[in-house]
């Protein structure tokens, strides 16, 4: 994956050139969601603004020095931005020093959130988070539900091969185990994502990683 890192470094220069235009697009009438925000007369948190798509409110609060890691429904503004696949907002928050490792109420980081089921995150969003050094092997620990899933496991459960390939190429741990001591391979297989399970098996074989172990029906 060193070659991949080299490619990311060259891509970073291109990202910076595009950043200004993307930020302007973020604020344009076509992308902003026109919503009236009312919370009993109080100023909504930066996370709430991100949740409802009020990016002008997010920018205003960044300028006013608001805490970037305040939460709404247990998630930060960065959690919301990556889940919606909003690359300009993701860049803006990371460059403003939003935490890449903030654990939500369920113990997940923004990278884990980006590859969770229902996420609209593109490969560009994942690449940016990884380039910014998000922990690729974070294993959430939920105080209520115990051990969670690494980003690779979440991607396997979601059934997204693009995410799987990117994470594996960048050095995600194929042997990491989540609930029921299941690997990403087992989770993909048990969710019926057979093509993903086959790809992981082939990738693991080429990397000489023994991940093909009997599944114990994780859900």
51-99 pLDDT, tens digit each = 999 999 999 999 999 999 999 989 999 999 999 999 999 999 999 999 9
Mean pLDDT confidence for 137-164: 85
Q: How far is CA 81 from CA 9, 51, 84, 167, in A?
A: 23, 8, 5, 19
First-to-last alpha carbon distance for the chain, in angstroms, is: 31
pTM score: 0.77
Q: Calculate the alpha carbon distances from 110 to 47, 146, 185 in Å.
A: 13, 19, 22
Q: Which residues have CB under 8 Å from 91's CB, separation 6+? A: 15, 19, 22, 23, 128
Domain edges within the chain: 2-135
Write down the pLDDT at residue 17. Answer: 53
What integer is the mean pLDDT of 129-151? 84
Fold of domain 2-135: 1.25.40
């Amino acid at each position: 994956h060193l070659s991949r890192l080299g490619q990311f470094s060259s891509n970073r220069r291109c990202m910076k050139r595009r950043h200004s235009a993307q930020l302007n697009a973020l604020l344009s009438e076509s992308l902003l969601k026109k919503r009236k925000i009312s919370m009993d007369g109080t100023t909504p948190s930066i996370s709430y603004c991100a949740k409802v798509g009020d990016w002008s409110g997010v920018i205003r609060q960044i300028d006013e020095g608001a805490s970037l890691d305040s939460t709404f429904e247990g998630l930060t503004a960065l959690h919301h931005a990556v889940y919606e696949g909003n690359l300009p907002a993701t860049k803006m928050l990371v460059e403003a020093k939003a935490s890449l490792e903030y654990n939500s109420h369920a113990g997940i980081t923004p990278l884990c959130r980006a590859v969770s089921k229902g996420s609209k995150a593109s490969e560009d969003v994942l690449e940016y988070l990884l380039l910014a050094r998000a922990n690729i092997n974070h294993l959430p620990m939920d105080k209520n539900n115990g051990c969670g899933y690494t980003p690779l496991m979440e991607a396997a459960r979601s059934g997204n091969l693009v995410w799987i390939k990117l994470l594996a190429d960048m050095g995600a741990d194929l042997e990491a185990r989540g609930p029921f001591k299941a690997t990403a391979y087992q989770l993909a297989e048990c969710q019926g994502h057979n093509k993903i399970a086959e790809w992981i098996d082939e990738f693991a074989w080429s990397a000489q990683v023994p991940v093909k172990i009997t599944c114990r029906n994780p859900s």
